[in-house]
Amino acid sequence: MLISKIGICPPMSKTFITFDLQMEKLLLLEDFYFIREINTSSPEKMNAKIELNADHPVYKGHFPDSPIAPGVCVIQMIKEVVMQHYHRNLLMTEAGNIKFMALMNPNHNPFFYIDYELSFPDKESIDASAVVRWESITYLKFKGKFQDMQ
C-alpha cells in the first residue's frame, strides 16, 4: 500500500517546509523515496517500511558507479516519516547521537525499515530514537529532538 510520495530537501536548508492537508508532497526533490507502510503499536512506537528510488538523480553524484544513500537524506527521512504520521511540520533541533553502521545501496536493496521510539515531553516537541535496518543489517541509529515549526 503506497501511503505517500516524498522527496528530500537540501540539508540545513533555509527553505521551511509546509504541506497541504493531504500530505502528498512534503519537500523539494520528488521521488527520492516512498513510504510503503507505517505501523504503530502505540503512540510512542512505530515502524515504517521505506523504498528508495534507485533511479533518482541524487545517485548520479553520490556515487555514479556505486550509489549510496546520503546520510543526511536518511536522517531527513527519519524526520519526514514522523511529520507524515503525526501531521506536524517539524524542525530537527538536536541530533544527540547518530551512528552510521552500513552503506545503503539502492541497487542492492531498495527497502528498509525505520523503527521508532518516541516521547512527547510537551505539545511542541518530540524526542526520537530510530533504527534504520533491513533484516540483520543495521544501517543507522539516531537519537534526537524535533520541534514544531511556528
The predicted-structure confidence for 56-90, as pLDDT tens digits, reads as follows 999 999 998 899 999 999 999 999 999 999 999 99
- Candidates 105, 101, 33; CA nearest to 66 is 105
Domain boundaries, the chain: 4-11+22-148
Candidates 3.30.230.10, 3.10.129.10, 3.30.750.24, 3.20.20.70; CATH matching 4-11+22-148:
3.10.129.10
Residue with cell 503512540: 43
* 24-63 CB burial, b ≥16 within 10 A, e <16: eebbeeeebbbbeebeeeeeeebebbbebbeebebbeeee
Neighbour count for residue 122 (Cβ, 10 Å): 8
- Is pLDDT above 50 for 126? yes
Neighbour count for residue 107 (Cβ, 10 Å): 12
pLDDT for position 150: 76
**Under the phi-then-psi rule, with left for phi > 0, alpha for psi from -120 to 50, and beta for the rest, what region is 50?**
beta
**Calpha distance 102→99 (Å, rounded):** 9
pTM for this prediction: 0.81
- Grid coordinates representing 17 are 517546509
